[in-house]
Amino acid sequence: MARYQDVMARKGEIMKRALGMDYAQFERSPIAFDYEGMMAAHGYSLDDIRRIQRAAGVGGTPLLELRNITDLVRSYAGSGHGARIFVKDEAANMAGSFKDRRASMSIHVASEWGYAGVIAATSGNYGAAVASQAARAGLACIICQETFDSRHVGQPEIVEKSRLCEAFGAEVVQMTVGPELFFHMLELLEQTGYLSASLYSPFGVSGIETLGAELAEDMIAATGAPPTHVVVTHAGGGNTTGTARGLKRAGAVDTQIVSASVDLSGLHMASDTDFNRKSFTTGHTGFGVPFATWPDRADVPRNAARSLRYMDRYLTVTQGEVFYVTEALSKLEGLERGPSGNTAMAAAMSLAHELPHDATVVVQETEYTGAGKHHWSQLAFAREQGVEVRAGDPAENVPGSVIVVPERPEQIQAKDFDLARMRRSYVRNALSHAPEGYEPNPADIVFLAEDTNTTPATVEEIIAELAAG
Amino acid sequence: MNDAIRCEAGEWVEVEYVLLEVAERAGGLPEDTAATPLRAWVKGFARTTALIGDEIEVETMSGRVVAGHLSAISPGYTHTFGTPPPQIVGIGRDLRARLATYRLGGLGVDANVPQGLDERAGE
C-alpha cells in the first residue's frame, strides 16, 4: 500500500493514543454525540483552568476602552448611535495571542499524562503558543506548518510565525501547500509518541472559556454590566465557541455573539497558486465557513469547536478594511497589533455604528505584530504577487486580485453572512456523513437543533427541504 | 543568510526533502497543487560535513534525526516591515483631524455633541 494511504488507514489508532482519550465513548448514533459530556470529560472546572493558566503565565490580559475609535465612529453614525468599543488585549499573553489559553491546557495535560512532547499542525499563532508553553514545561515540540508555495515563497506572516516557534525551541516542519500536512502529522505522532495538541480538543477549547469569563467580569467592573455585544475573529470556530461558553458561565447570557471573518471567497485553500494571493492566513472565510458548517473535518474525531451553537451573527469584512482599521488603531489608540486579530475590530466598527450610544461592543482579542506580521509587509507582499492594491470603495474588493483600502471610515461596512444558509449546509453535511439510508431519529433531531442553535421543528423543515431537493 | 557552501558537523543548518512525490499525493487536490511534490524543510544540527545540495542528516531541536538535501547553512530570517503603502500613510493624519473636528462640535462632520465626552469628564 502506498505510504499516504497506509498512514491514513491507521489514523484511528494513531489518534486514539495521541489524543489520550477515546472519543467513541461519546458517540450516540451515526449523527449525534454527547457534546457536553465530551467537554466535561477532562474534569477541570473553570477555576481549575484559571489556576493552571495563571501558573503558566497566561490570561488576565487588560481590557481597554477605545475612546478615540468610539468617537470616530460617532462622528459619522446617526444621532444617538455609535456604541462604546472595548478590546481585550490578548497580545499581552506570553506568545502574543489568545492561543496561549488553548496551548496552556494541552501542555498541562501532556505533562500530567507523561507525554515527552507535543505536536500541532498550524500555520497560525497557535504554533508559537504551543512552542512557548512547551518550553516552560520542558516538553519537546514539533509544529507542522504549511509555509511555502511550490516556488519556496512564503507569506511574510507565516514565515514570522515559523521564526517565533523556532525562537521558543520548537522543531518546525515547513511544508508546501496541501492537506497532506495532516498525514505527516500522523507520521510524526506515530514516530515520536507525543501528544497531539490539537486546536480542536476539549482541552484547547476549554482553555478559551477563561477569556469569555474574564471579559464579562472586566466589563462588569468597567461599566456595571456584561457587554451587549462581543465580536470574535472567526476561523476554525474555537474562538467563538470558547468565548461564548465562558461568557455564559460568567452569567452573560444576553450578550450577542458576533463572529467575524475576512472575506476570501473564490480562493481555494488547497491551491498552490492561490496560497500566496491571500493576505490573511487565518480569521478568514476559507476556514470560517467550512468549519462552521462541518466542524468534524478537524484533526480530532469530534470537534470541540462548534461555532454554530453560539454565533448570533456572522459578519464578513474585506482585507482592505482590516488593514485600514489596523493603521487606525495604531495611530488613534497607540495600539499597534497584528492585522489578523483586527478582523473583529473592523467588524466591530461597522457594528457599533448601527448601535445606540449605550450599547457596548467588545473586540475579544488582539495579536502581536512584528516584521512580517504587519499590514505594511502584507501589502508589499500582495503587490509582489501581482495583487492590485488601491484606495477606494472596499465594495470593489476581489479576493486574490484587488485589495481596496477604504478612504474614509464610513466605508467600512461589514456584510451579514446568511446564518440560515449555514445551518442548512451543516444539516446537509451531518446527514451525508451518516451511512447511506440512515434515518435520523428524534434524538438526532434534538442534537442537530442544539448543534445549529435552532429548534427541532426548524431542523425537520430543513431535512424535508433537502429531501425534496 | 550565510554564503558558505560547506557546513561542518554540529553546525545549525536546514535540509529539504520530499514527503510525497506527485504520484503519491492525496486525491482530490486542485490541479496546480497535484502537479507538484509535497516538499518540506526542517532545521537542525548537521551530523556530518556536507556541501549545499548533498544528502545529509540533521538532529532537530526535538532530537529527531532527519535526512534531506542540505539547503541552507546558518539559516536566518529576512522578513521585514515592508515600506509604507501610499494607501495607508495618510490614515492617521486624516483620522486625527476628523476626531479633533468632531470634538470641537462637528464642523462638517456631525453636529451632534459627543455625549460620551461628558460622561467621561470626571474619570
Query: What is the structure's pLDDT at B121?
Result: 36
Judge: B114–A177 Cβ closer than 8 Å, yes or no: no
CB pairs under 8 A between A and B: 188
Query: What is the structure's pLDDT at B117?
Result: 40
Distance between A307 CA and the closest CA of chain B, angstroms = 27
Neighbouring residues of A172: CB distance < 8 A, sequence distance ≥ 6 = A127, A142, A143, A145, A162, A165, A166, B42, B43
Judge: B80–A171 Cβ closer than 8 Å, yes or no: no
Distance between B121 CA and the closest CA of chain A, angstroms = 12
Domain with CATH 2.30.30.760 in chain B: 6-73
Query: What is the structure's pLDDT at B123?
Result: 35
Judge: A332–B64 Cβ closer than 8 Å, yes or no: no
d(CA B35, CA A217): 53
Q: Tell me which chain B residue has its CA closest to the CA of residue A165.
A: B61
- Chain B CB contacts of A171 under 8 Å are 42-44, 60-62, 64
Facing B33 at nearest CB: one of A3, A191, A270: A270
**ipTM of predicted assembly, 2 dp:** 0.94
d(CA A28, CA A37): 11
Instruction: Return the amino acid letter for B62.
Output: S
- How far is CA B29 from each of CA A71, A290, B35, B39, rounded to the nearest angstrom? 48, 16, 9, 15
Query: What is the structure's pLDDT at A384?
Result: 95
The mean pLDDT of chain A is 96
The reported pTM is: 0.94
Facing A84 at nearest CB: one of B39, B61, B116: B116
Q: In this structure, which topology does domain B6-73 adopt according to CATH?
A: SH3 type barrels. (2.30.30)
- Chain A CB contacts of B17 under 8 Å are none
Query: What is the structure's pLDDT at A1?
Result: 53
Per-residue pLDDT tens, chain B, 123 aa: give them. 557 899 999 999 999 999 999 999 999 999 999 999 999 999 999 999 999 999 999 999 999 999 999 999 999 999 999 999 999 999 999 999 999 999 998 644 444 444 334 333 333
Judge: A178–B33 Cβ closer than 8 Å, yes or no: yes
Digit-coded pLDDT (tens) for A166-194: 999 999 999 999 999 999 999 999 999 99
What residues of chain A score a pLDDT lower than 50?
A: none
Distance between B1 CA and the closest CA of chain A, angstroms = 14
Facing B29 at nearest CB: one of A178, A374, A381: A178
Distance between B10 CA and the closest CA of chain A, angstroms = 16
**Residues B70, B54 contacting (CB under 8 angstroms):** yes
Facing A389 at nearest CB: one of B40, B85, B101: B85
Digit-coded pLDDT (tens) for A151-160: 999 999 999 9
C-alpha cell at A86: 472595548
Distance between B113 CA and the closest CA of chain A, angstroms = 9
Query: What is the structure's pLDDT at B2?
Result: 58
C-alpha cell at A281: 492566513
Domains of chain A: residue spans and CATH: 3-50+97-202 (3.40.50.1100), 59-94+205-416 (3.40.50.1100), 429-468 (no CATH)
d(CA A369, CA A340): 10
Digit-coded pLDDT (tens) for A57-102: 999 999 999 999 999 999 999 999 999 999 999 999 999 999 999 9
